[in-house]
Chain A
């Protein structure tokens, strides 16, 4: 795959990283293919996000600085970025971005896509050699894809375009060896890989992109392999999730999404969180506040303190979606594009992992991050606050911060 790499470009290692230590992590590394025997991976992490509430654009350099500042939250085994509002000229096509381990996988995917719809454009995603990064380096390729009008998937002709894409991605990721679809939404893309956050931003040269919203993640995995596919954000359709935590209810949550037809191929708790958002909000049409409550509900005894109507809803969300409850420590930043580009943050109901939100002094840009330093480094005078445990912050392009995360459940106009 050497031919796909751009001329050498050495990253500037930030001063707080001891360059000598970089070589000390000696683990087996994987590209698009799932590491053999992997059944679940976990880890601690840093997360950061920013959204321009006026519909303006933010350069990739901003999010890279936010994430890289939290250097102690990563150990070089994965980092990634998702950008929204990235391809205005292709905004009606699904942007399917892939890791390929070899040309055969790429050819197979292309053949599959051509049989099911139209590739309106495809291109190699720009990547450049970063000296400190270690192989493998999967080929990163992007297809703008439009499914056939009369689409059919395994004899089923009742699927919506979105459901069709979900099935297609599940199929590719679990069946096609050497290929992994890392993002499949419209007007968004995921840039991730195996390395430190500063290496990944350099590898993709994020400065060349700007979008309405960025969310990002750096990994500190404890016992899982260095795998490009396992890096965050995890994404399906226009959902992307960056997640710091370890879901102790993974086995239950996984059953929940699998019952609804999702197939887990990356085997991280974050993947399952992504599917739960898609299932609850897109398929079951729950408002964001209700979906967030299902994932991080109030305690039974506290529910009794709510007004009667809210208490009834809260109780039934817990009963109906008890398998969606995300137990254990987590804080997540979630991106979506429909109906507008939106950033959602959520922390577990005991607030065992950090999460902080911020708003620039001109109230144009909203931020979220694991640590305050990530906000201060790009907006020194930002107003910051911590959302309540289990309470979502919601910021929407064009509409502002709709919910700070300090309201009662189901309040906040979303």
Chain B
């Protein structure tokens, strides 16, 4: 086939492969299952043998389906001459941009090895002067309420105390975990169904993402937080009223200052219907909401949304963690938000410009404590529920996030990993071999919602048990007594300035 000069030139300068599937021919049964399952066409069957065909992303699907356990994916050693400054990552980006001339897209959270402050903090435990609590024998509570609070309860002063009515809408979750906003569109129908099923079984919340709610998912609406993002995809009055809470999405940790981006490849007939957009078109949300250019505009939108849901469900705001996050959070609480979600810069996404994902925003550890301290200083912390997300990878991250000042955490990537995701950072291509981040029917059908949901349920149940273990070890029998209890954290990293900003003492410092 004739190739143009441009294509030839590009081919010649294509960056070398990074991964190589290696098949042990002596064990291979020649069943070709791996070839058929590889959505990236990185395997071929030639002359009676499975051969690598290039383009492997190390998604691991072939390893998983191989009945002979004879596939191994090797990371190919760098083929670039060593250079610490113009490292391989830098050179690959240059080559890619020289070939495409565009903004590089990527997905998942940043893979740059920024310091993770979660890993630089240790927790306290009870010894002698207070007793540790065994969660298997004693009650240790992890129920978490979500919604606005008045800061004060007005009870009649004469006679037995009582309340006439609930002071406002509130939601109880059985554990301080919310599955974050993973939209239908970024992930498949089966993937979102699995997440909603898990949320319902766990009695926690899950975000709808900015794609509206598929009508099949109405049975899960009481566990769903609907999202109003700048594109307003799928937003109708009935949609908002049907769900447990409404969240106005201003920003996302993986792409602060950017709107949502669903590549046209993923806008199938179903997505087109749910989002109410034409088939196959890129669904690109405006960067700001075009009716919110200021905090007072946000206040008006909050009021409008509260009116439209008749004050029956909490209304919150999600922001990306940016440098001035404390003041912004304070403004949002004053504007009437019942909850606020802060998304740190390591957070995931189904598609984002790599430049933004890797270089913009604030780590969630710092953002949580800055917001908690600011809201406390202004006497507002007991008016609002604070969610924190942006790479909560384990129960340890969750516990430290809560101790830093979050009421609950928002988790996305870990839930997807539980379902099969290998974090290969190819979501934006829509070819997910695990049937998660794709709209191709033949791929999506690989994900069994029941199986995937059970895995998510087990993951979060185990996190919750680990939370109870830690609480018990600290002599705390209810998770609310950990929220913002920075006294029980110590910093164990290289930069004591960070510790000072987070309001966390250094290891070795006692109570006084």
A interface list, Cβ under 8 A from B: 35, 37-44, 222-224, 245-246, 248-252, 255-256, 258-261, 267, 284-287, 289-290, 299-301, 309-310, 312-313, 316-323, 325, 327-329, 349-350, 352, 410-411
Within 8 Å of chain A (Cβ to Cβ): is B85? no
Min CB–CB distance B157 → chain A (angstroms): 6
Question: Total number of A-B contacts with CB less than 8 angstroms?
Answer: 142
| 17 sample A-B contacts, Cβ–Cβ < 8 Å, listed by A number | A40-B512, A222-B128, A252-B481, A252-B484, A255-B376, A256-B382, A258-B376, A284-B153, A300-B172, A301-B139, A313-B161, A316-B167, A320-B152, A329-B130, A350-B477, A352-B130, A410-B160
Contacts of A40 in B (CB 8 A): 487, 511-512
Complex CA distance for A329 and B474, rounded to whole angstroms: 12
Nearest CB of chain A from residue B463's CB, rounded to whole Å: 19
Q: Do B476 and A327 touch across chains, with their CB atoms under 8 A apart? A: yes
Q: Is B141 close to A, CB under 8 A?
A: yes
How would residues 22 to 49 of chain B score, 1 for a CB under 8 Å from any chain A CB and 0 otherwise? 0000000000000000000000000000
Instruction: Select B161's contact among A251, A267, A349, A410, beta carbons within 8 Å.
Output: A410
| B285 contacts A by Cβ under 8 Å | no
Q: Give the complex CA separation of A248 and B474 in angstroms.
A: 7
User: In the complex, what distance in Å separates the CA atom of A385 from the CA atom of B261?
Assistant: 67
Q: B residues within 8 A CB of A350? A: 133, 138, 477
Contact of B131 among A310, A318, A352 (CB under 8 A): A352
| Chain A residues with CB below 8 A from B84, complex form | none
- CB pair B133–A39 under 8 Å, yes or no, is no
Q: Which residues of B contact A (CB under 8 A)?
A: 126, 128-131, 133, 138-139, 141, 143, 145, 149-155, 157, 160-163, 166-167, 170, 172, 376, 379-382, 474-478, 480-488, 510-512
A35: chain B residues within 8 A (beta carbon) = 512
A42 to B150, CA, bound (A): 32
> Within 8 Å CB of A313, what residues of B?
155, 161-163
A-B pairs with the 6 shortest C-beta distances?
Answer: A249-B481, A251-B487, A327-B481, A40-B511, A39-B512, A322-B480
Alpha-carbon gap, A261 to B378, bound state (A): 10
Taken together as a complex, chains A and B put the C-alpha atoms of A313 and B476 apart, in Å, by 23
Are A312 and B163 interface neighbours, CB within 8 A? Answer: yes
* Residue of A whose beta carbon sits closest to that of B509: A39
Q: Given A316-B153, A320-B150: A327 and B475 within 8 A (CB)?
A: yes
Shortest distance from the beta carbon of A293 to any chain B beta carbon, whole Å: 9
Chain B min CB distance to A394 (Å): 14
Q: A255-B381, A287-B161 are in contact. Are A246 and B166 (CB under 8 A)?
A: no
A245 to B126, CA, bound (A): 13
For B172, the chain A residues whose CB sits under 8 A away are: 300
Contacts of B130 in A (CB 8 A): 245-246, 248, 328-329, 352
Is A323 touching B475 in the complex (CB atoms < 8 A)?
no
B489 to chain A, nearest CB (A): 9
Complex: how many Å from CA A255 to CA B128? 26
Compute how far the CA of A254 lies from the CA of B399 in the bound complex, rounded to whole angstroms: 20
A246 nearest in chain B by CB position = B130
- Pair A327/B477 contact, Cβ less than 8 Å: yes
Q: Which residue among B133, B163, B476, B512 has the maximum number of chain A CB atoms within 10 Å of its CB?
A: B512
User: Are A248 and B126 touching (Cβ within 8 A)?
Assistant: yes
Taking a contact as CB atoms under 8 Å apart, the answer to whether A285 and B161 are in contact is no
Cross-chain contact B153 with A317 (CB below 8 angstroms): yes
The reply to whether B476 and A249 form a contact with Cβ atoms under 8 Å apart is yes
Nearest chain A CB to B369's CB is how many angstroms away?
12
Q: Cα distance A256–B482 when bound, in Å?
A: 13
CB distance from B406 to the nearest CB of A (A): 13
**What residue in chain A is nearest B403 (Cβ atoms)?**
A251
Give the CA-CA distance A328 to B471 in the complex, in Å.
11
Q: How far in angstroms is the closest Cβ of chain A from B400?
A: 14
Asked if A250 and B487 sit within 8 Å, CB to CB, the answer is yes
Extra contacts, 12 of them, besides A252-B483, A316-B153, A323-B381 (Cβ < 8 A), are: A39-B511, A39-B512, A42-B511, A248-B481, A249-B476, A249-B485, A251-B484, A252-B480, A284-B153, A287-B155, A312-B166, A321-B153
> By the criterion CB–CB under 8 Å, are A316 and B511 in contact?
no
A248 to B478, CA, bound (A): 11
Residue pair B139, A299 in contact (C-beta under 8 Å): yes
Is A284's CB under 8 angstroms from B152's CB? Answer: yes
* B residues in contact with A249, CB < 8 Å: 476, 481-482, 485
Which A residues touch B141, using CB under 8 A? 299-300
- Structural contact, B161 and A290, CB atoms closer than 8 A: yes
CB < 8 Å: which of B475, B485, B487, B511 contacts A224? B511
